[in-house]
Structure 1
Amino acid sequence: MKHPLIKPDTVEQRLYQLNLAGKALEGSSLVVLPTGLGKTIIALFVIASRLQRFGGKALILSPTKPLVDQHAAFFKKVMALPEEEILAFTGSIAPAEREKLWAQGKLIVSTPQVIENDLLTKRISLEDVSHITFDEAHRAVGNYAYTFIAEKYFESAKNPHILGITASPGSSDEKIAEVCQALHVENVAVKTEKDRDVRPYVQEKEIEWLQVQLPPEMAEIRSYLEKILDDRLRIIKDLGFSAGSGKYISKKDLLLLQKQLQGEIRVGGDPAIFSAMSVVAEMMKVNHAVEMVETQGLETLRKYLEKLDSEASSKSASKAAKRLMDDLYMRKALYRVKECDVEHPKLELARKIVSEQLKKNPDSRVIVFTNYRDTAEIVANALSGFSGIIPIRFVGQGSRNKNKGLTQKQQAEILDKFRAGEYNVLVATSVAEEGLDIPATDMVLFYEPIPSEIRSIQRKGRTGRQQKGRVIVLVTKGTRDEAYYWSSKNKEKRMLKSMHGLETALTPKVSKKSAALSDFENLPCTPDPQLKTEKIEIEIEKEEEDEEGDGFENRTDLYSEKSSHPETGVNGDGKKSGNEQADINAKERQKTLVDFGTASEDNASESLRIVIDHRETKSGVAKTLDRLGMGLSFAVLEVGDYVVSDRLAVERKRTDDFTSSLIDGKRNLFAQLSDLARVYEKPVLIIEGEDLFTSRQINPNAIYGTLVSIAIDFGVSILHSRDEEETASILKILAKREQTENKREINPHGKKSASTLSEQQEYLISSISNIGPKAARNLLLHFGSVKAVLQADTEELKKVKLIGPKTAARIKEVLESPYKG
């Protein structure tokens, strides 16, 4: 492929890639192509063409730092641009430095969160960006950064053009339509491994599923847990509710029931609803435990049950947690788990499969996928004892309890060593599912099936990239494993059907007079000095509209208010809408309260400003305020989350944060509100969400009491919002009232109150697990100092009110156990 912006002899010419790139250049597009078939090459062709024609910058967005580094290295290798103009942006680069680099960059590869933050803080502008590639485009749903960036891009860019690339956009028409709408997609192009022009480049991929039988000891433990589920199910039915109708009560069934109960609580206050909510909370914990024993093994289950037992014995435990762990069958299950040393048969089978693979081919690379971190650690340890197997655990960044995550730098180092052969088995959670290019991986082992078709496709795509690959799925017979396996398989089929229908629906009614990329199909791979890249560009000549329509074009009504059925093409009035253009712009979506506010008050909004605490950039509130035309400034605020004027500041709490602060004495809600009321004349608390009385099992009277105390004792006004968008609308109204009507200036001020000596002493003692603020005060009053508390023995500790044998033992364990790092 000859092009001034592509280095000669660096890219193999494939006709299907040229064809897809040509389609993508016709307008903002979504390209769906199986993993390993060169989606990045298609992006390269499109980027080169757009930069050649329009100049400016091109932006590539990818969800993780390893992917960003991978793409940046590829484009530096193949693009004929100075190396200093191809840049990789991640959160590790300081914002001020990114602002300087943005000015000099021609091609920027970045995580979306970095670009989102830089847009909100006005460090960068997308005005001169002539193309954006959204890698793993199926993420462009909900509040993910892709949706905000695409919206800002089409608002500000002179020549906007988007390419979304993915192997798996989703199985439902609604999900696919949401992605297309978010990315302003005009064209959809789909290729499968069965297409004639793709087949020569597809490596054979052998997919098999192997069944194991649940051992009797584990079946016994499962039976105890199922007895608890059956008992709670009877209670739910006696209270007048039902949870699912299939063989298994799934997490989805329980979540739907929980949502139903939350809706009924808002309508009325029947005590039976609160009882049912508490029982559902128990069922969700037990249901998870059943999944653990069926699909993971006893070690993973033991860790989970011990965590539940620890939570139930803490001072802040809910009634549901205590009731569950006091259940006879739960005690039996916990006892049997602790005494039983039988491992899940999957573990032995995984050892055998990996060992045989590496004996047969010592240069193999194997990825073992597990759903849970605990299982990843268990599998990695189990494999490490075998000759020829060098495993490494590969997980995300977050750390939970004693399970430490990996930094992005550590992830990148592990992947480099895996590619180089220092490790030959990667035992990974979902963090390794998307996009990682490890060509030598010739086997992927699913430790358990997953119901998500997107994740299943991504996992399978890690093998069979440049050589024959194997995919093996381990399934425990007669368990949720089987249900998950068939669920993802059926969803994959539905996804393919949906994508082909949408591809037909969004085929533009234009003819291409000049040569598109696909016109170069018959050219040899050697560079042709006579080839002019301008030919890639497209001249458009409209055809006459087809009066009758083609039977598929009505599927574009997925984006209109009167949506047509995805299969029949019949709209809400029962009539065909064949006269509507097939290229309805996906930007036209149903109006929301925020849209009306934007349309009606644009001029007024320009003068309104809000100062936002820098930690709030991760919420959707700041993005919505930006959409509403507000002037945003970000700062480190010691008091409040949003400052609206010199006298009015707002603290925002989600319902789960609010209720958790009532249970967890270490949370500082009242200290925050005390500072807010001390510093600002008009303090406001916004409680966001619709599950205030159901997010935790707390007596409603306790919540009402807290709200009364906040309003009366602290003098803080309480406002409620349903979601982040509504919070933003409230903030705009407050800003308008203060700044326009009352002519108030914005003046962030105030510092947190310094903790008194007594508060610091109480904090030190209450930082020990299971010690609440009351117990900490009792200990200090009894012993007189922090030093005396720490030196007391177990018997002395038990004499203090609220300190029982378990808590005393825990205090001594924390103080005296060797530190292991």
Structure 2
Amino acid sequence: MSLEYLLNDENEDEILAKVQEESLRHYRDFELPRMQNDSLGVSGRGPIDAGKSSGNHADPSETSVVLCTQVGGKAGALLYEGQEAKGFHLAAGTSYIYPTNFPIRQYQAAIVRSALFKNTLVSLPTGLGKTFIAAVVMYNFYRWFPRGKVVFMAPTRPLVAQQIKACYSIMGIPPDDTTEMTGIQAADVREKLWKEKRVFFLTPQVMANDLCSNTCPAELVKCLVIDEAHKAVKDYAYCQVVKSLSAANGIYRTLALSATPGNDINAVIQVIRNLNISCLEMRGEDSIDVAPYTHGKSVEQVVVDLSPELIRVKDDFMQVYERFARNLIENRALTSNIALLSKFQILKAMEKFRANPPRGMSASLIGSLVSDFTMCMTFAHALELMQIYGLRAFYRYLS
């Protein structure tokens, strides 16, 4: 599947827009006539024809069937019950709320609108408001689906706790409807929370386990926010959660957040596929709509010389290091300036040597040189620790 196809596949993403249009039609053709009937004391189930008096009803054969349920009594809310957006609040769904008690940044407003109606991967540099975007999207799905569940996943518990505090301060989702779930909670406790609460902050491992055990009502999940989305590769728990929700035939919105979605285009495409993303919203510090909110950086390089004591220890250590490197240098398996080689560079040199050893070299010599490579990798790492962190880290590593 190509990236272009993924970005252009918007059939599912148009569902909420269509439901909003349906809600307006339902209000015009059904709710408004019903309220007029109630005020006039007229009973009946069909909508009033606009061209007739309030006492006459339209031909039932001309009315369309709308799948709706009413909650909270006669004056309660109407919820759409079609499979494509089950439980959608028809009145709340005519609009979305964006906070104006914070400075309005146009790039955030544009990304929020996109994320409300499309499965979106948001890539913003750290500190430019990914959590703000997530809080706004979560709050609107909290409004739109009164019986639905909104889930925020982060890879570690400290990140989960950090996001809870941020979301409270931004949009004020009622704390009584919110909970943090952890793996140390008993299964029956989490099952009760899934029934009673509506907004959940948890790690993907907990979510995956509860979906596997049917503790989490997959069909009620309406919004899934994924922090550090670049981790959604191979069989990471994020991927397991999305697969389980998709297998349950649920209709839900995905918002994925990451400062660095991937090291290359293939990694980004893998994240897009694994999370069913259809829209990319990517900004850098030099983006036109982001630049006004970033500050210039002044980087000054400070070179710190080694102390006389460290120089003495380094000189003694290099004598030992050179004894193990001598055979490698003589057999042209390693360069002579070993003090500048990193552990990774030595590893690559060893892999190259093992893949294509010199012609005519005996197996015993090859084995001896591979052992020397292994020792040199240890020495290179120890030398790096000494020069960066000092003698204590150097000593602990060699101990």
Tell me the TM-score normalized by structure 2: 0.64
Distance in 2 of aligned mates of 1:285 and 1:128: 53
State the 1:135 CA deviation.
Answer: 0.9
Q: Secondary structure, in 3 states, of the residue corresponding to 1:149?
A: helix
State the 1:285 CA deviation.
Answer: 1.7
**1:638-787 residue pairs with structure 2 within 5 A?**
none
Task: Judging by fraction of residues, say which structure has more helix.
Answer: 2
Structure 2 residue 198 is the aligned partner of structure 1 residue 106: yes
Distance in 2 of aligned mates of 1:26 and 1:249: 51
Distance in 2 of aligned mates of 1:272 and 1:230: 18
Distance in 1 of aligned mates of 2:279 and 2:162: 27
**1:500-519 residue pairs with structure 2 within 5 A?**
none
CA 1:226–1:246: 2 relative to 1, 3 Å: closer
Q: State the match for 1:285 in structure 2.
A: 378
State the 1:191 CA deviation.
Answer: 1.6
State the 1:19 CA deviation.
Answer: 0.9
Q: State the match for 1:295 in structure 2.
A: 388
Is the contact between residue 68 and residue 111 of structure 1 (CA under 8 Å) also seen in structure 2? yes
Q: Which of 151, 154, 157 is residue 65 of structure 1 equivalent to?
A: 157
Is the contact between residue 76 and residue 86 of structure 1 (CA under 8 Å) also seen in structure 2? no
Identity of aligned pairs, percent? Answer: 30
Q: Secondary structure, in 3 states, of the residue corresponding to 1:211?
A: coil
**1:533-572 residue pairs with structure 2 within 5 A?**
none
Q: State the match for 1:664 in structure 2.
A: none
**1:139-288 residue pairs with structure 2 within 5 A?**
139-236=231-328, 241=333, 248-256=340-348, 270-272=363-365, 274-288=367-381
Distance in 2 of aligned mates of 1:158 and 1:215: 63
Distance in 2 of aligned mates of 1:28 and 1:51: 17
Is the contact between residue 167 and residue 173 of structure 2 (CA under 8 Å) also seen in structure 1? no
CA 1:259–1:90: 2 relative to 1, 3 Å: farther
Q: State the match for 1:340 in structure 2.
A: none
State the 1:38 CA deviation.
Answer: 0.9
Is the contact between residue 139 and residue 173 of structure 2 (CA under 8 Å) also seen in structure 1? no
Structure 2 residue 108 is the aligned partner of structure 1 residue 46: no
Distance in 2 of aligned mates of 1:46 and 1:302: 51
Structure with larger Rg = 2
State the 1:138 CA deviation.
Answer: 2.2
If asked which structure has higher relative contact order (CA below 8 Å, sep 6+), I would say 2
Is the contact between residue 98 and residue 136 of structure 2 (CA under 8 Å) also seen in structure 1? no
Is the contact between residue 58 and residue 132 of structure 1 (CA under 8 Å) also seen in structure 2? yes
CA 1:120–1:25: 2 relative to 1, 3 Å: same
Q: Which of 194, 200, 222 is residue 130 of structure 1 equivalent to?
A: 222
CA 1:224–1:15: 2 relative to 1, 3 Å: same
Q: State the match for 1:441 in structure 2.
A: none
Distance in 2 of aligned mates of 1:244 and 1:139: 40
Deviations 1:714-754 (A, max 9, x none): xxxxxxxxxxxxxxxxxxxxxxxxxxxxxxxxxxxxxxxxx
Q: Secondary structure, in 3 states, of the residue corresponding to 1:123?
A: coil
Q: Which of 116, 119, 123 is residue 28 of structure 1 equivalent to?
A: 119
Amino acid at match of 2:127: G
Amino acid at match of 1:71: Q
Q: State the match for 2:58 in structure 1.
A: none
Distance in 2 of aligned mates of 1:182 and 1:222: 49
Is the contact between residue 194 and residue 215 of structure 2 (CA under 8 Å) also seen in structure 1? no
Is the contact between residue 243 and residue 257 of structure 1 (CA under 8 Å) also seen in structure 2? no
Structure 1 residues without counterparts, runs of 5 or longer: 308-821
CA 1:240–1:220: 2 relative to 1, 3 Å: same
Tell me the TM-score normalized by structure 1: 0.33
**1:373-522 residue pairs with structure 2 within 5 A?**
none
Deviations 1:5-64 (A, max 9, x none): 869665443211011122334532221112111101111232234444456212111122
State the 1:106 CA deviation.
Answer: 1.5
CA 1:302–1:136: 2 relative to 1, 3 Å: same
Amino acid at match of 1:283: C
Structure 2 residue 211 is the aligned partner of structure 1 residue 119: yes
State the 1:185 CA deviation.
Answer: 2.5
Q: State the match for 1:318 in structure 2.
A: none
Q: State the match for 1:651 in structure 2.
A: none
Q: State the match for 1:15 in structure 2.
A: 106
Q: Secondary structure, in 3 states, of the residue corresponding to 1:100?
A: helix
Is the contact between residue 147 and residue 183 of structure 1 (CA under 8 Å) also seen in structure 2? yes
Q: Secondary structure, in 3 states, of the residue corresponding to 2:218?
A: coil
CA 1:245–1:290: 2 relative to 1, 3 Å: closer
CA 1:123–1:237: 2 relative to 1, 3 Å: farther
Deviations 1:430-457 (A, max 9, x none): xxxxxxxxxxxxxxxxxxxxxxxxxxxx
Structure 2 residue 180 is the aligned partner of structure 1 residue 88: yes
Is the contact between residue 191 and residue 216 of structure 2 (CA under 8 Å) also seen in structure 1? yes
State the 1:298 CA deviation.
Answer: 1.7
Q: State the match for 2:16 in structure 1.
A: none
Amino acid at match of 2:105: R
Structure 2 residues without counterparts, runs of 5 or longer: 1-91, 357-361
Distance in 2 of aligned mates of 1:27 and 1:102: 26
Deviations 1:133-160 (A, max 9, x none): 1112222234432232233333334213
Deviations 1:785-806 (A, max 9, x none): xxxxxxxxxxxxxxxxxxxxxx
Q: State the match for 1:37 in structure 2.
A: 128
